[in-house]
């Protein structure tokens, strides 16, 4: 796993309120981020990677050890001098919950501070979920995790939700889900969870982009596109090291950018959206119209299409050619807009397409982009599969922990408030 470049303490604060933080709190955030993404580090490596002086690094590490978040776990021989100690996050020092709230159910996962998944609950499995059902499922699953992890529960930082739609946050911090393409009314987020834990929500594609940014194919770059093709089509845009949100967070709803006003009808009711061409059902519908036959509507069916394409089946070849051309056209437009360093293609359909078609998708994308930006990106598959929404969602409480003020500043603030 490569180290994300962390230019300064402002990085990766995400949507945390822009309150004034001391340099030491900013340094704490950078150092803790480095240790969690790297897994281990010496003080000297930490200082060099985070742009800290050796004295600052020593102070910050002392603070993190006192908080129980970091520990010395061993000694490394160093050239000539005394051995240096190896630092690692304390897995048991804090816990994060991430939930993937999908159209088919709610997967709730508990992660330790090394971001290892240690427990999981799934609720749902109905054909179509409703806002009431997901609230019940979420609270029920979190309660099951609480009962099984009682000794850890006081160190749970919060719950992050990856939701299937636009998630807006108002001035008071209240969040609302707008899942227009599922036909849901606006859903207030806070009532979905009955437990008294910090609750943070984000669009599922944006949480997956966060996972790629922290631990996957987008690590270490400040400008990336994470395109997710599945039943729906999503996008996360990383600009200047942050997942871009726009005015009220709906930025990057690429799935509903129309490529053709006379094109096929989309789930959102409009015509010719990217999703209406590149969503799994759209691809399979085209194949079916040309006489293709397949089992089901998912992973296996897209696999059958790719196999038929390889075997030279005319209908499958035509559908795959059109899919590659349309994906290249849609990605090329994004490349012109954002000048990314990396274009990352994932989602379960993307993961199906990439092993066989990456070169063709890359060529089609470069051909659809202007020459300069078209020559400046690398196209890569996602590191994580479609089951990463929960990991990405758990990064929201992780960011809360990382950006928290130092304990001594918290108590100073409490004293001055009292």
Q: How far is CA 226 from CA 30, 223, 356, in A?
A: 24, 10, 19
Least Å distance, CB 270 to Zn ion, is 5
Beta-bridge mates of residue 110? 97, 119
| Residue among 10 and 180 whose Cβ is closer to Zn ion | 180
Least Å distance, CB 231 to Zn ion, is 13
| Residue among 182 and 382 whose Cβ is closer to Zn ion | 182
What residues between 116 and 175 interact with Zn ion by CB under 5 A?
Answer: none
| Residue among 260 and 307 whose Cβ is closer to Zn ion | 260
**Using CB under 5 A, which of the segments 17-25, 68-76, 258-266, 363-371 binds Zn ion?**
258-266
Query: How many Cα atoms within 13 Å fall on the side-chain side of residue 409?
Result: 13
The DSSP annotation for 280-337 comes to: HHHHHHHHHHTT---SSSSHHHHHHHHHHHHTT-HHHHHHHHHHHHHHHHHHHHHHHH
> Is 206 a binder of Zn ion (CB under 5 A)?
no
- Rule CB under 5 A: choose which of 94, 97, 273, 308 binds Zn ion: 273
What residues between 218 and 257 interact with Zn ion by CB under 5 A?
Answer: 256
CA angle, 200 as apex, 199 and 204 as ends, to 5°?
Answer: 130
Q: Other CB atoms closer than 10 Å to residue 401's CB: what's the count?
A: 20
Beta-bridge mates of residue 98? 109, 160
Mask for 53-72, x = binds Zn ion (CB under 5 A): --------------------
Least Å distance, CB 349 to Zn ion, is 16
| Residue among 220 and 263 whose Cβ is closer to Zn ion | 263
Least Å distance, CB 99 to Zn ion, is 25
Size of the site for Zn ion (CB under 5 A): 5
The DSSP annotation for 208-276 comes to: HHHHHHHHSTTTT-SSEEEEEESSSEEEEEEETTEE--TTTS-TT-GGG-BS-TTSPBPTTS-BSBHHH
**Using CB under 5 A, which of the segments 268-276, 289-297, 304-312, 328-336 binds Zn ion?**
268-276
| Residue among 282 and 353 whose Cβ is closer to Zn ion | 282
Least Å distance, CB 246 to Zn ion, is 17
| Residue among 259 and 358 whose Cβ is closer to Zn ion | 259
Least Å distance, CB 233 to Zn ion, is 9
- Two structure tokens written together for 20: 């004034």
Please report, in angstroms and rounded to a whole number, the separation of the first and last CA atoms in the chain.
45
The helices-and-strands tally (H runs, E runs) of the chain is 13, 16
CB 67 within 8 A of CB 90: no
| Residue among 26 and 181 whose Cβ is closer to Zn ion | 181
> Is 268 a binder of Zn ion (CB under 5 A)?
yes
> Is 211 a binder of Zn ion (CB under 5 A)?
no
| Residue among 113 and 233 whose Cβ is closer to Zn ion | 233
- Two structure tokens written together for 154: 């006081």
> Is 330 a binder of Zn ion (CB under 5 A)?
no
| Residue among 199 and 266 whose Cβ is closer to Zn ion | 266
Query: How many Cα atoms within 13 Å fall on the side-chain side of residue 15?
Result: 24
> Is 266 a binder of Zn ion (CB under 5 A)?
yes
Least Å distance, CB 125 to Zn ion, is 26
Residue 324 has phi, psi (to 5 degrees) of -65, -45
Closest by CA to 263, choosing from 286, 234, 280, 284, is 286
Least Å distance, CB 104 to Zn ion, is 20
Least Å distance, CB 188 to Zn ion, is 24
The binding site for Zn ion (CB under 5 A) comprises 256, 266, 268, 270, 273
């Amino acid at each position: 796993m490569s180290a994300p470049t962390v230019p300064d303490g402002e990085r990766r604060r995400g949507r945390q309120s822009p309150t004034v933080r001391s340099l030491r709190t900013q340094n704490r955030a950078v150092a803790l981020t480095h240790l969690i993404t790297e897994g281990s580090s010496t003080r000297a490596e930490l200082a060099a990677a985070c742009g800290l002086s050796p004295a600052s690094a020593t102070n910050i590490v002392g603070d993190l050890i006192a908080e129980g978040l970091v520990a010395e776990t061993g000694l490394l021989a160093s050239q000539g001098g005394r051995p240096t100690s190896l630092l690692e996050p304390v897995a048991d020092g804090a816990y994060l919950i991430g939930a993937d709230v999908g159209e088919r159910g709610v997967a709730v996962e508990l992660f330790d501070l090394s971001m290892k998944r240690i427990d999981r609950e799934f609720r749902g499995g109905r054909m179509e979920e409703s806002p009431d059902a997901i609230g019940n499922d979420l609270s029920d699953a979190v309660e099951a995790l609480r009962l099984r992890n009682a000794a850890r529960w006081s160190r749970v930082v919060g719950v992050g939700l990856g939701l299937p739609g636009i998630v807006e946050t108002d001035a008071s911090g209240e969040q609302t889900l707008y899942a227009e393409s599922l036909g849901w009314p606006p859903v207030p987020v806070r009532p979905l969870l009955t437990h008294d834990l910090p609750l943070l929500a984000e669009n599922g594609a944006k949480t997956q982009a966060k996972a790629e940014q922290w631990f996957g194919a987008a690590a270490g770059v400040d400008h990336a596109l994470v395109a997710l093709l599945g039943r729906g089509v999503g996008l996360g845009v990383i600009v200047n090291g942050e997942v871009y949100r726009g005015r009220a967070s709906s930025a990057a709803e690429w799935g509903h950018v129309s490529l053709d006003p006379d094109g096929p009808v989309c789930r959102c009711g409009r015509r010719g959206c990217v999703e209406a061409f590149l969503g799994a059902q759209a691809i399979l519908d085209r194949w079916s119209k040309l006489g293709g036959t397949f089992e089901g509507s998912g992973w296996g069916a897209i696999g059958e299409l790719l196999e038929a394409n390889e075997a030279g089946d005319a209908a499958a070849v035509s559908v795959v050619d059109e899919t590659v051309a349309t994906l290249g056209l849609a990605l090329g437009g994004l490349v012109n807009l954002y000048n990314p360093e990396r274009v990352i293609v994932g989602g379960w359909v993307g993961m199906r397409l990439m092993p066989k078609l990456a070169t063709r998708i890359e060529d089609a994308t470069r051909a659809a982009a202007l020459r300069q930006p078209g020559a400046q990106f690398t196209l890569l598959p996602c590191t994580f599969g479609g089951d990463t929404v929960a990991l990405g969602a758990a990064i929201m409480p992780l960011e809360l922990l990382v950006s928290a003020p130092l304990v001594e500043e918290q108590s100073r603030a409490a004293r001055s408030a009292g």
